[in-house]
């Protein structure tokens, strides 16, 4: 870590709590805009609930459209939290420190919004009761526990619970810092939230052990969530292009690609918004850029294998479907945009150090990745269903209605709003983690050069 | 945490040079015996190969007698071929504990020469891409229905061979370049070795420019090797197993094979490191730290082994498509079930149960035991996958198996070829370790320079330099 600036604890407290203790000029307008878009989405949703799914572009056989695409997309974004926080924490990567909180919080809100998409998708939301819950109200019918669609809610709620715990455990020391700097009702609330934290050795030990344990426990859950989402598709043998053995790891790596890109986007916005240049430094973006090259290339390898395996068997129906997905209007231009924005634009750019160290370029490229990854999910969901039946009279096409577009836009507004509200109440960069990083960093003299160094416990 | 941890005395660079040079110069009786034994078994393997060659038809319509041979070549590519990636990956992530193990991993690259030689006969046994399902789409309507693709000259043979050839060249170049400063050191020692280090060192004097070339070259060759390996392993597994079984359409298979290779490559490196530590008397320099660090990655790879296997299995099992049920029966629940259970236990269950415990991971024997288990499991797994693939007699343009073949048990010739090939790999490794120092001088010395012990509050801790 070359660019560290030695800062006092007081400086760190003041810098990282500036969003909590006072609001910036842009803050309330930003909250207002997000809330307005979200309100529009709620109104659109209310219309769909009252008047039915006929208001959407869903039709037979394309019963999965924008909402399911968006569900898979947000589940993907949610993978950033564990990928960055748990894996980098377990591997003791020093550069993780400013990124972990944003990643964890993004995970929680993404999961919430992903689950909301399923409520939107079913039309009459109360019908969900009859879907995942073990009920036997009157007719003696139980849900099919052998269905991946039933595994989904279990995996997602487990992941959501674990992720919330993960955020809370990491927040406790910071909440105590805020408690000690507030008065009145706020002081009382933060006192309650900080659970009597005084920073004793025993409390630190428990907090560290809990963090490590949660990291290790969340890892399998994190893998299972997107794997199960993938089996929603892969287990359905009726749809060509879905029944693929590679889907689980392909979905997981795609999710990590999209999620880490999402975290970088959020970090850069925070850097600008709160003047956190001393904390979210160019070296962090550089390290994340390198990580993204590896993740994106691994994802691309899986993508190639998936396509290759589908063509390799030389089965007419599958090949016709791929032709639709890749070469036929309206999917062909979407495919080009997906592959360019998802891989061929960002990855070659990330090979340049100057790009990796440029917040503006990293912002553009990481947003580009998520545009590509959203389209990728759309291209998985819709073309397959459009040609689900071999008989042409059952073929169909899909275009989203204005209601779906507003509701999907609303999900982005929801996550933005939640992040904004969270940042007003809690620090978005872990204060204790940054201070720990300051303590652990050191320098050693080699010949005539001073080399940055790190204190380590063997 | 850990206030009672004892910080060991850090080794001195001069002591290290002296000890390693002594160890390199005096290869004892044990070394000669190992060379003799492995060389002997290797010769028997060659003999078995020749006997099989002259007594069996040698063409692509008669693959069954060569099934075990193909499995052995796949095993060598999987283990020795993947081992240099351990060095490459740990260098890329700048893991400070990697230093004593990078050379151990890189020397496996030299085994690639043997893999390449053994692969050449297989080229005559795999059928041409013409008129069958392969990834080379030859003589078929184009995958997107846009007309017939022209012939891809030499597919798949030329491309498999070229991939392996470039991989081997890259592995050897990586080994040579990373060993160059150490070869110069041996030259300067004026030892009585018959190796002409003067010529081998290419005028290395450690100038700033030379160091820059070595550092950049090792990084670039490493990345290139990694990409080449993934490509080679993918097409090797498709052309030499997947596409030989009608109805086996498995997108995860090449990726799974690449993953198992990374697991086996790391296992081979750990086992190699243990043997070198034990028999070259380098306990002072190869500590628990290396085994501890590598064991965490091996644990993760073993878990991934299960995940990749499960991801493929559940989709087939859940789908209940007859052609896919046949594939499950062929490879898992039918004639090769015992091998599947053994591979599952050795590649996943045993390493998982061993490495689950930090107290075991933090030993020398724990990761080594897990490594041995993984190596055995990988051999069994390759036999499970390649032997049935090479024993199918159905026409390759079919979309499902017409009947379930029986178990192809090995005869004495098969066993000699399998163990001969493995012994040959060890023989080559031993020979190369006579020329190139088995532990990298320069990386170790760099590590020693970047490491110091400082007092922090009331205890001593290690400080690692992290240059850019």
Q: What is the pLDDT of residues B175-224, one digit of tens each?
A: 999 999 999 988 887 666 777 888 888 888 989 999 999 999 999 999 99
Residues of chain A positioned with their CB less than 8 A from the CB of B249: 309, 312-313
- Give all strands (DSSP E) within B238-375, no chain letters: none
Per the model's pLDDT, the better-predicted residue between B318 and A133 turns out to be: B318
pLDDT at B145: 59
**Cβ-defined contact of A247 to B311 (cutoff 8 Å):** yes
Q: Is residue B4 part of a domain?
A: no
Q: How far is CA B355 from the centre of its chain?
A: 20
Distance (Å, whole) CA B204 – CA B173 = 16
Residues of chain B positioned with their CB less than 8 A from the CB of A454: 463-464, 466
How confident is residue A32, by pLDDT bands cut at 50, 70 and 90? very high
Residue A151: CB atoms within 10 Å: 20
pLDDT at B140: 65
- Beta strand B451-456 with A449-456: parallel, antiparallel or unpaired? unpaired
Contact A108, A160 (CB under 8 A): yes
Residue B54: CB atoms within 10 Å: 8
Q: Which of A360, A376, A415, A159 is nearest to A257 (CA)?
A: A376
Q: Give the start-to-end residue ranges of the domains of chain A.
A: 9-134+144-454
pLDDT at B141: 65
Q: Mean pLDDT, to the nearest integer, of B95-116?
A: 93
Contact B379, B304 (CB under 8 A): no
Q: Is residue B258 part of a domain?
A: yes
Distance (Å, whole) CA A254 – CA A248 = 10
Q: Is residue B18 part of a domain?
A: no
Nearest CA in chain B to A286: B468
Distance from CA of B145 to the nearest CA of A (A): 8
Q: How many domains is chain B partitioned into structurally?
A: 1
- Tokens in use for B244? 């030989």
Q: Is residue B21 part of a domain?
A: no
Q: Is residue B11 part of a domain?
A: no
Q: Is residue B414 part of a domain?
A: no
- CB burial class (10 A; 0-12, 13-18, 19+) of residue A423? buried
**Cβ-defined contact of B465 to A308 (cutoff 8 Å):** no
Q: How far are the Cα atoms of A32, A353, A357, A361, B52 from residue A349, in angstroms, in the given order?
A: 35, 9, 11, 9, 54
Cβ-Cβ contacts under 8 Å between A and B: the total is 132
Tokens 């509050």 belong to residue: B457
Render pLDDT for B287-329 as a digit per residue (tens, 0 to 9).
898 999 999 999 999 999 999 999 999 999 998 899 999 999 9
Residue A131: CB atoms within 10 Å: 16
Render pLDDT for A301-319 as a digit per residue (tens, 0 to 9).
999 999 988 888 777 788 8
By Cβ distance, the residue of A309, A314, A320 closest to B140 is A314
The answer to whether B95 faces chain A, any CB pair under 8 Å, is: no
**Cβ-defined contact of A237 to B243 (cutoff 8 Å):** no
**Cβ-defined contact of B250 to A245 (cutoff 8 Å):** yes
Contact A373, A72 (CB under 8 A): no
> H or E stretch including B268?
helix B253-279
- Tokens in use for B446? 């760099």
Q: Is residue B300 part of a domain?
A: yes
Contact B454, B461 (CB under 8 A): yes
Phi-psi region of B406 (alpha: psi -120 to 50; beta: other; left: phi over 0): beta
Strand partners, A441: A454
Residue A236: CB atoms within 10 Å: 17
> H or E stretch including B417?
helix B412-435
**Cβ-defined contact of A246 to B255 (cutoff 8 Å):** yes
pLDDT at A88: 81
Q: Mean pLDDT, to the nearest integer, of A414-433?
A: 92
- Tokens in use for A203? 């409390």
Residues of chain A positioned with their CB less than 8 A from the CB of B250: 245, 309
Contact A43, A76 (CB under 8 A): no
Residues of chain A positioned with their CB less than 8 A from the CB of B322: none
Distance from CA of A198 to the nearest CA of B (A): 18
Distance (Å, whole) CA B363 – CA B424 = 30
The answer to whether B68 faces chain A, any CB pair under 8 Å, is: no
The answer to whether B464 faces chain A, any CB pair under 8 Å, is: yes
The answer to whether B358 faces chain A, any CB pair under 8 Å, is: no
Distance from CA of A319 to the nearest CA of B (A): 6
pLDDT at B148: 55
Residues of chain A positioned with their CB less than 8 A from the CB of B399: 313, 315
Q: Is residue B410 part of a domain?
A: no
- CATH class of the structural domain A9-134+144-454: mainly alpha
Can you give the pTM of this predicted structure? 0.92
b/e code B168-191 from CB counts within 10 Å (16+ = b): bbbbbbbbbbbbbbbbbbbbeeee
Assess whether pLDDT exceeds 80 at residue B147: no
Residues of chain A positioned with their CB less than 8 A from the CB of B467: 451-452
How confident is residue B4, by pLDDT bands cut at 50, 70 and 90? very low
Nearest CA in chain B to A245: B312
- Beta strand B459-465 with B451-456: parallel, antiparallel or unpaired? antiparallel
Phi, psi dihedrals of residue B451, rounded to the nearest 5°: -125, 135
Residues whose CB is less than 8 angstroms from the CB of residue A251 and which lie 6 or more positions away in sequence, other chains included: A72, A76, A226, A227, A229, A230
Domain of B218, in residue numbers: 29-402+419-464
By Cβ distance, the residue of B5, B316, B466 closest to A452 is B466
Residues of chain B positioned with their CB less than 8 A from the CB of A456: 461-464
How confident is residue B2, by pLDDT bands cut at 50, 70 and 90? very low
């Amino acid at each position: 870590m070359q660019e560290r600036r030695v800062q006092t604890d007081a400086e760190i407290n003041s810098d990282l709590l500036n969003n909590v203790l006072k609001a910036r000029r842009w803050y309330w307008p930003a909250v207002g805009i997000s809330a307005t878009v979200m309100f529009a989405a709620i109104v659109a949703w209310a219309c769909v609930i009252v008047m039915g799914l006929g208001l959407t572009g869903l039709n037979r056989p394309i019963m999965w459209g924008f909402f399911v695409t968006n569900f898979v997309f947000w589940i993907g974004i949610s993978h950033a939290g564990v990928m960055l926080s748990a894996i980098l924490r377990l591997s003791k990567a020093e550069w993780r420190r400013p990124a972990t909180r944003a990643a964890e919080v993004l995970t929680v809100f993404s999961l919430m919004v992903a689950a909301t998409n399923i409520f939107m998708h079913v039309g009459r939301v109360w019908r969900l009761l009859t879907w995942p819950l073990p009920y036997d109200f009157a007719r003696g019918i139980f849900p099919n526990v052998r269905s991946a669609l039933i595994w989904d809610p279990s995996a997602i709620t487990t992941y959501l619970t674990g992720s919330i715990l993960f955020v809370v455990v990491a927040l406790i020391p910071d909440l105590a810092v805020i408690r000690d700097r507030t008065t009145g009702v706020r002081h009382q609330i933060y006192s309650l939230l900080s659970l009597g934290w005084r920073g004793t050795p025993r409390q630190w030990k428990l907090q560290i052990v809990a963090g490590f344990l949660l990291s290790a426990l969340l890892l399998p859950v994190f893998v299972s969530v997107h794997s199960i989402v993938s089996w929603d598709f892969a287990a359905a043998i009726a749809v060509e292009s879905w029944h693929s053995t590679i889907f689980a790891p392909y979905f997981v790596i795609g999710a990590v690609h999209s999620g880490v890109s999402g975290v970088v986007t959020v970090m850069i916005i925070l850097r600008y918004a709160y003047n956190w240049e001393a904390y979210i430094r160019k070296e962090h973006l550089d390290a994340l850029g390198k990580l993204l090259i590896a993740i994106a290339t691994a994802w691309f390898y899986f993508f190639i294998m998936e396509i290759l395996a589908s063509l390799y068997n030389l089965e007419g129906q599958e090949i016709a479907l791929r032709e639709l997905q890749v070469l036929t209007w309206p999917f062909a231009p979407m495919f080009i945009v997906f592959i360019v924005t998802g891989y061929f634009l960002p990855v070659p750019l990330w090979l340049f150090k100057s790009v990796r160290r440029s917040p503006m370029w990293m912002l553009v490229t990481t947003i580009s990745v998520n545009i590509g990854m959203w389209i990728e999910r759309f291209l998985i969901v819709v073309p397959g269903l459009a040609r689900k039946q071999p008989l042409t009279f059952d073929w169909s096409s899909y275009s989203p209605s204005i209601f779906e577009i507003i509701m999907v836009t609303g999900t982005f507004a929801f996550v933005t709003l939640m992040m904004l509200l969270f940042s007003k109440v809690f620090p978005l960069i872990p204060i204790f983690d940054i201070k720990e990083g300051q303590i652990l960093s050191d320098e050693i003299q080699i010949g005539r050069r001073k080399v940055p160094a790190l204190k380590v416990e063997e | 945490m850990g206030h009672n941890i004892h910080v060991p005395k850090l080794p001195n660079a001069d002591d290290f040079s002296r000890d390693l040079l002594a160890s390199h110069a005096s290869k004892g009786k044990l070394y000669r015996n190992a060379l003799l034994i492995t060389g002997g078994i290797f010769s028997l393997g060659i003999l078995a190969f020749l006997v099989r060659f002259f007594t069996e038809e040698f063409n692509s319509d008669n693959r069954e007698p060569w099934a075990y041979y193909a499995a052995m070549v796949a095993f060598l590519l999987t283990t020795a071929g993947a081992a240099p990636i351990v060095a490459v990956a740990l260098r890329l992530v700048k893991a400070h504990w990697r230093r004593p193990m990078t050379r151990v991993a890189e020397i496996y690259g030299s085994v690639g020469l043997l893999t390449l030689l053994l692969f050449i006969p297989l080229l005559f046994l795999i059928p041409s891409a013409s008129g069958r399902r392969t990834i080379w789409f030859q003589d078929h309507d184009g995958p997107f229905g846009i007309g017939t693709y022209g012939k891809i000259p030499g597919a798949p043979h030329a491309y498999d061979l070229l991939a392996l050839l470039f991989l081997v060249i890259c592995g050897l170049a990586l080994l040579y370049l990373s060993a160059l400063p150490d070869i110069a050191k041996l030259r300067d020692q004026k030892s009585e070795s018959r190796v002409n280090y003067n010529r081998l060192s290419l005028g290395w004097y450690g100038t700033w420019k030379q160091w820059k070339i070595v550092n950049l070259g090792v990084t670039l060759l490493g990345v290139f090797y990694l990409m080449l390996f993934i490509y080679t392993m993918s097409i090797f597994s498709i052309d030499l197993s997947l596409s030989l079984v009608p109805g086996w359409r498995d997108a995860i298979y090449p990726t799974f094979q690449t993953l198992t290779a990374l697991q086996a490559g790391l296992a081979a490196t750990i086992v190699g490191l243990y043997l070198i530590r034990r028999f070259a008397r380098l306990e002072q320099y190869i500590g628990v730290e290396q085994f501890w660090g590598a064991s965490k990655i091996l644990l993760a790879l073993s878990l991934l082994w299960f995940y990749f296997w499960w991801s493929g299995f559940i989709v087939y099992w859940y789908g209940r498509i007859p052609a896919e049920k046949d594939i499950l029966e062929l490879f898992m629940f039918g004639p090769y079930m015992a091998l599947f259970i053994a591979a599952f236990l050795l590649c996943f269950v045993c390493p998982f149960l061993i490495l689950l415990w930090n107290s075991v991971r933090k030993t020398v024997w724990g990761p080594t035991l897990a490594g041995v288990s993984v190596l055995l499991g990988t051999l069994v797994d390759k036999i499970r996958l390649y032997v049935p693939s090479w024993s199918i007699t159905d026409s390759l343009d079919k979309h499902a198996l017409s009947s379930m073949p029986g178990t192809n048990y090995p005869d004495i010739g098969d066993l000699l070829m399998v163990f001969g090939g493995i012994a040959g790999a060890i023989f080559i490794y031993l020979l190369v370790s006579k020329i190139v120092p088995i532990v990298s001088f320069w990386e170790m010395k760099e590590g020693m320079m970047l490491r110091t012990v400082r007092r922090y509050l009331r205890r001593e801790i290690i400080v690692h330099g992290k240059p850019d």
